[in-house]
Structure 1
């Protein structure tokens, strides 16, 4: 796992260009929002998410110059928290933009969690999970943007086709771009 983090750090520092500034972001999210993409894991609370986006990765221009990012999410109720890294793209239309992203995270949720009524497994199925996300944002000033975003974590049924509990989070975040 250590080599994964070193690779992400190298990707962010070695393939970025100063033309697109790096930024920090933070937000507040509702934890375990019910959507068609997950089975319930019976968790609650609010998530506080913090992250850092590196500049555009010139070395990944064949992917559209995504921004590598690091993210950490802390659940205020003591339920599943996570940290990870990924790539995001900013697609602009004037001051409004869409930001899709995909990453991998490591979480601290339980290894085994069984619903006492139904006997169904409620654990997330793997310590390492995929983390797709999408945000719609608006540039508020030269350096500050606001985003409404959806973040999902799950194993995408790779480890058990019949079981794929996941967690959806929806919230808002602000970002500050350094120049």
Structure 2
């Protein structure tokens, strides 16, 4: 009798494990895709690369000189509930400009404010600081270098851009570096250029 009961229970268990529903339930419990991983907000917001003309109105660009530029923009530290307020929240950035002719190159960091004029057109401004490898002494400069007085310098820039798609954009940028009168010489450095941006 007992052996018959045991045999019956065994058949019941085997039949239950063999049903598709049991396998489906088990698959749901063990499948790695059953519970999607939580998505974390990205630290990076955008990457930009382009070229600029080195100080076209000054001694460093007198006979033409170009730079390779790159910039990384990070996500806003916090978000606002409405679009207008969000325009006042900047994105932190870091970047650099490498001169091809041995003239002043620099690295910079700061904050960028971007405002949408239309869904595809935007304007932006940035403010921060930069360190450079250019001349600081007005008495020791060559004919192809500008005396910048000191390092670090203040850096300001403005851009007008067009969004080509959800991820890609192009923009024209002008940037200026100076010491704002903090050092003996303050002619500064002004570059103009174009960049391509990829939004993550």
Fold conserved between structures, TM > 0.5: yes
* Moved segments of 4+, more than 4 Å: 59-63
Q: Provide closer, same or farther for how the CA distance between residues 49 and 141 of structure 1 changes in structure 2, counting only shifts above 3 A.
A: same
Looking at secondary structure, tell me which structure has more helix per residue.
Answer: 2
1:65: how far off? 1.1
1:63: how far off? 8.6
Q: Provide closer, same or farther for how the CA distance between residues 177 and 62 of structure 1 changes in structure 2, counting only shifts above 3 A.
A: closer
Name the count of aligned residue pairs: 150
Kindly name which structure, 1 or 2, has the bigger radius of gyration based on alpha carbons: 2
Aligned counterpart, 1:43: 60
Aligned counterpart, 1:85: 109
Instruction: Find the aligned partners of 1:126 and 1:62 in 2 and give their Cα distance.
Output: 35
Q: Provide closer, same or farther for how the CA distance between residues 108 and 20 of structure 1 changes in structure 2, counting only shifts above 3 A.
A: closer
Conserved? CA contact 1:72–1:82, under 8 Å: yes
1:64: how far off? 1.6
1:164: how far off? 1.1
TM-score relative to the length of structure 2: 0.68
TM-score relative to the length of structure 1: 0.75
Greater RCO (CA < 8 Å, at least 6 residues apart) = 1
1:176 matches 2:198: yes
Conserved? CA contact 2:94–2:109, under 8 Å: yes
Q: Provide closer, same or farther for how the CA distance between residues 156 and 62 of structure 1 changes in structure 2, counting only shifts above 3 A.
A: farther
Q: Tell me, what secondary structure is at the counterpart of 1:124?
A: coil
1:62: how far off? 9.6
Aligned counterpart, 1:24: 47
Conserved? CA contact 1:112–1:122, under 8 Å: no
Instruction: Find the aligned partners of 1:21 and 1:115 in 2 and give their Cα distance.
Output: 41
Aligned counterpart, 2:21: none
